[in-house]
Amino acid sequence: MVGKTPSKTTTSASSTRPPKAAPTVQDTRDQQRLLDVFAHAFGSVLASDDFPAVLQEIKQALFRRDFAAAFASQRCLDAYAARWSPTRALCYAAVLRAVGDHVRQMLGADGSADELLHGSKIFSMLSIGGCAAEHVAFAHYIHDTASQGALTLLDAAPWSHVTSRLQEILTSAPPLSNYASAAAKASNQPLLLDSQLSTTFCQSDVLSLTRDRLAGLVGADPLLVTLLFTLNELYTDGGLGKTTAFLRSLGGALASRSLLLVVDSPGSYSEAAVGKEKKRYPMQWLLDHTLLGAEARDHHWEKLESHDSVWFRLPEGLSYPIQLENMRYQMHLYRIHKP
């Protein structure tokens, strides 16, 4: 079970290098619209009298690393998505926008940029250990690039109802006040058309997938695979051996030019204990050692970008029913090459 532990917020950087600032979504109107998606999807959850108690229940379960308790019920999943997914969605949207050149290169290697912009190429993404934040961020990228997308969300928790609810809201016009002007009503459009984004949710433990099942999920064409605040949990709770085996199987299954995007907590928050002596290694070192340190016969990985510490800061003026916090993360992007 992958646990989506809330990222830790700090007031100062712990890295020896000053954290860089995250790229932003195009403007605050875009960010507000994404927050409105969550406010609309989970309005009754946010307004519920027991919302604070459910959040506390989730925090306590995550502290015990009891992910079954934290993510087994619909009420906990809804509360988690309403509380922690909005900031992450804005952050992930900024990250996707920042790596857009690599995505366009992946998709346009045998076609023109005009093809991509007009939707004749479908951008596919497999999000491992993700749901609400990844869903909304990917939808924003598809909207921002006027393209078409196919999203597969894979997680051990039962997120299907959240996926369905968000997909409905993303493809529906936002609710308007009864006093909205005729011009506002005329210009009120959904973030995406139904035909722009197909979404599939798969409930499964990624470390238990067979090679054939993994190959079926990634398909035969280049795609983006994301591990967003997931990989360190795999190392910590699934173990080094199983996680390394999964990463190697992923490399064997992916089409050439596919991308792997890893985002996680920075610094000492992302370390895994290895061996009988429980020696601690940084997640990034383990990842690089697996992808870059061992030559596979049928593929090799190229590291395109790496940032040890990046701040994502919410701009002034955004509105959401509860307070949201800034977040800090590390980011690494890889591309696979095959003969």
Distance of alpha carbon 229 from alpha carbon 332, whole angstroms: 12
Q: Give CA–CA dist 250/209, Å, rounded.
A: 10
Name the percent of the chain lying above pLDDT 70.
89
Q: Report if residue 11 sits inside a domain.
A: no
Mean pLDDT of 154-161: 97
The pLDDT, as a whole number, for residue 26 is 56
Q: Distance between CA atoms of 44 and 24, rounded to whole angstroms?
A: 29
Is there a domain that residue 6 lies in? no
Q: Is residue 84 part of a domain?
A: yes
Beta-strand (E) ranges in 34-74?
none
Please report whether residue 225 resides in a domain. yes
Give how far Cα 245 sits from Cα of 102, 214, 256, Å. Answer: 26, 12, 19
Q: How many domains, the chain?
A: 1
pTM over 0.85: yes
Residue 114: pLDDT over 60 = no
Question: In 3D, which of 257, 42, 23, 33 has the Cα closest to residue 143?
Answer: 33
- Residues 298-321: tens digit of each pLDDT: 899 999 999 999 999 999 999 999
Residue 143 lies in a domain: yes
pLDDT in tens, 172-221: 998 888 888 888 888 889 999 999 999 999 999 999 999 999 999 999 99
Decide if pLDDT at 22 tops 80: no
In-domain check, residue 108: yes
Low-confidence winner among 21-30, 42-51, 121-130, 282-291 (lowest mean pLDDT):
21-30
In a domain, 3, yes or no: no
Q: Which domain, by its residues, includes 301? A: 20-173+187-337
pLDDT tens, position by position, 59-84: 999 998 888 889 989 999 999 999 99
Average per-residue pLDDT for the chain? 89
Mean pLDDT over 153-174 rounds to: 97
- Size of the chain in residues: 339
Contacts of 142-147 with CB under 8 Å at 24 or more apart are 142/192, 142/196, 142/197, 143/191, 143/192, 143/196, 144/26, 144/30, 144/97, 145/100, 145/116, 145/117, 146/117, 146/118, 146/119, 147/116, 147/117, 147/119, 147/121, 147/122, 147/123, 147/196
What region does 169 belong to: left with phi over 0, alpha with psi -120 to 50, or beta?
alpha
3-state secondary structure of 282: strand
H or E stretch covering 149? strand 148-155
Integer-rounded Cα Rg, in Å, for the chain is: 20
Residue 37 and residue 191 in contact, taking contact as beta carbons nearer than 8 Å: yes
Cα torsion 80, 5, 228, 246: sign? negative
User: 13 lies in a domain?
Assistant: no
* CATH code, domain with 284: 3.40.50.150
- Residue burial 180-189, b: 16+ Cβ < 10 Å; e: rest: eeeeeeeeee
